[in-house]
Structure 1
């Protein structure tokens, strides 16, 4: 009998939510996605020390003050790691723009180009990468401009219907609506445990898929931030699912079939694009989305700052 992981792959493209090359080799995902938190974890793994030393030596040789070196080192390490991952997946690697730029569209746009150019120097073309941006109004506008220039984007920390609609309007390549963080908020607020079909995070991603289908949008919907395999399996049929190594291991160890749970309905009339005030008001009205977006940006920024401190110590 087939494993749950193999059965799931018949309905959704599986993406590894990790920078662990061993896990990527083991579970053979289509794509892989990284963020500053995952890069920080990799900073302590023995298998990455040679790569880190090589990139930091190159940064030091380029000169400049310590802060400038640190900023370059973060980008170089992210791209070096992403390039190694790209050798092991047939699809794309997502690389994140620093969270502290989440409300600066011009800086996000420039950083996306810098990352794309670094990948190009390593022989990794635009068709193999996704630039990962927070789903703020500014991030979405930067992504809209990047998409017009042929740089595809992954809009993350997506937690509200307003964010999803604005991303569809902007024509972004891929969005990552979160499951676990949505459910975390509701469990804390209500004290309830949820069955998969009643899970607020699962219901949210299903509603995003329905919105994508009814609007006839080409944007790829990739469920993200899973806490359990039950949440993963409840979204079988979503275009893509990005899954941590721990949950991939559980799915690979369990035998059984997987039934499709998500259908994209046929296209109807496309809605009028949201204006900025409509977006901000719609997002504001969702207390969960407000809380978790702000928290997510802060946490990614904290991990980025910690990574920069570690790099500064190594450079010093």
Structure 2
């Protein structure tokens, strides 16, 4: 009998959720995605120190020898994310997601400016921009930025998505893809409901993403749904048939080493949804988000978490510069 990973790959696009190039080589996915935490983890691997040094040199040369350390670090951060993305694209046939600085999550114009810069860095590296997804936090400001970028043919992946309201706003904005965080939704309910164990089919994260997927297919939205942030393979199994799943290497290994029949749970041709179509403006979006305590708290927590990872990565780059002649 085939393993669960092979069966899953036949009905859903499997994306590797890592910045580790060796893991990408191992699983040979179509797409890959990164975030500040994953880039930070990869940057601490000894075998990647030459890549970091090359990026620091390139950054200093591009902005001038008289630039301050902070200016070099800021430039290096952008170049490093693109450098990892470029290396990943050498190993996969599809797309890579590269994230805009989470500290810009509530600034539409700054997000647009940063996204354009990242895309230009990819262009300068000879990368087809259709192979890049710009990851942006699904705040109202981020969604509006993505709406403008999509009209410029800059494709976006809206991340830190926890609620139905965020998902509807993203679809209405015409974004390419959303990444609802299944496991983090589960974390919140475990911490706040008093229930510590959920069956896969009753997992709050699974139920949330299932609702979003069926709503999108019912109303013919082109935005793809990519489940993300899993805590166990039961969550993944319950979403078999969704557009995409981005999965960490540890869970990919579990799926690969587990045999059994995998049943398709989601079908874009037969969506099961009783939801009326939701119309949103900023006021309605913010009102509904305020009523959704889980989505609001997890969005704020996620932005703070990615911000901390960015700051730690900047510190690592600064320390690297200090030991140079």
**Matched ranges for 1:293-304 at <5 A:** 293-304=299-310
Which of 217, 226, 239 in structure 1 is aligned with 2:243? Answer: 239
CA distance in 2, matches of 1:174, 1:54: 32
How far apart are residue 43 of structure 1 and its match?
Answer: 1.4
Q: Please, what TM-score do these two structures have when normalized by structure 1?
A: 0.97
Q: Deviations over 1:238-273 (max 9, x none)?
A: 100000000001111112231101123469999364
1:315 aligns with 2:321: yes
Equivalent position of 1:48 in the other structure? 48
Deviates more, 1:40-49 or 1:240-249: 40-49
How far apart are residue 23 of structure 1 and its match?
Answer: 1.2
Which of 172, 180, 183 in structure 1 is aligned with 2:183? Answer: 180
Equivalent position of 2:294 in the other structure? 288
Where do 5+ consecutive residues of structure 2 fail to align?
none
Equivalent position of 2:218 in the other structure? 214
The two structures, once aligned, show a CA RMSD in angstroms of: 1.5
Where do 5+ consecutive residues of structure 1 fail to align?
none
How far apart are residue 182 of structure 1 and its match?
Answer: 0.4
1:29 aligns with 2:35: no
SS at 2:231 equivalent: coil
CA distance in 1, matches of 2:279, 2:172: 6
Equivalent position of 1:137 in the other structure? 140
Deviates more, 1:169-178 or 1:24-33: 24-33
Which of 199, 205, 209 in structure 1 is aligned with 2:203? Answer: 199
Equivalent position of 1:128 in the other structure? 131
How far apart are residue 178 of structure 1 and its match?
Answer: 1.0
- The structure 1 segments of at least 4 consecutive aligned residues displaced by more than 4 Å after TM superposition are 266-270
Equivalent position of 2:258 in the other structure? 254
Give yes or no for contact 1:96–1:132 (8 Å, CA) kept in 2.
yes
Equivalent position of 1:85 in the other structure? 88
Equivalent position of 2:69 in the other structure? 66
Q: Deviations over 1:194-247 (max 9, x none)?
A: 000110000000000011011210000000010001101110011000000000
CA distance in 1, matches of 2:47, 2:156: 29
CA distance in 2, matches of 1:293, 1:102: 10
**Matched ranges for 1:99-110 at <5 A:** 99-110=102-113
How many residues align? The count is 316
CA distance in 2, matches of 1:137, 1:183: 23
How far apart are residue 75 of structure 1 and its match?
Answer: 0.5
Deviates more, 1:269-278 or 1:163-172: 269-278
